[in-house]
Amino acid sequence: MTPCPACAISRRVPTVSPTGRGFVTRVVADPRAAAFETAKEIASKSPDAIRAAKRILNHAVAVDAATGLMAESVEQQKLIGSPNQLEAVMSNLQKRAARYKD
């Protein structure tokens, strides 16, 4: 994996279209409010699933695709049937906020 040229050589990128270059996923008028909305959404998810996703992503940059997929499978097996996974399913079915144990 090679870094993008702009990152590797500290080249300035025109602000005309950062989304078209893959540097950002969206542009918002109020980045702070958007960051808090994203944090609120993440906080509403199972803490076990969030930690597993973070482990997978941190691991993925250092391994090949097959190893990364195996790591994802291992994490999923740990989550399936766990108390927080069951709470995620039940809260969704019952249309209520989840009450996760951390």
Cβ-contact 74, 59 below 8 angstroms = no
Domain 45-102, CATH: 1.10.12.10
Query: Average per-residue pLDDT in the chain?
Result: 85
Q: What's the distance, Cα to Cα, between the start and end of the chain in Å?
A: 35
Q: Which residue, 43, 50, 40, 42, is CA-closest to 85?
A: 50
Length of the chain as a residue count? 102
- Dump pLDDT digits (tens) for 66-100: 999 999 999 999 999 999 999 999 999 999 999 99
Query: Cα(46)–Cα(42) distance, rounded to whole angstroms?
Result: 8
- Domain boundaries, given as residue ranges, for the chain: 45-102
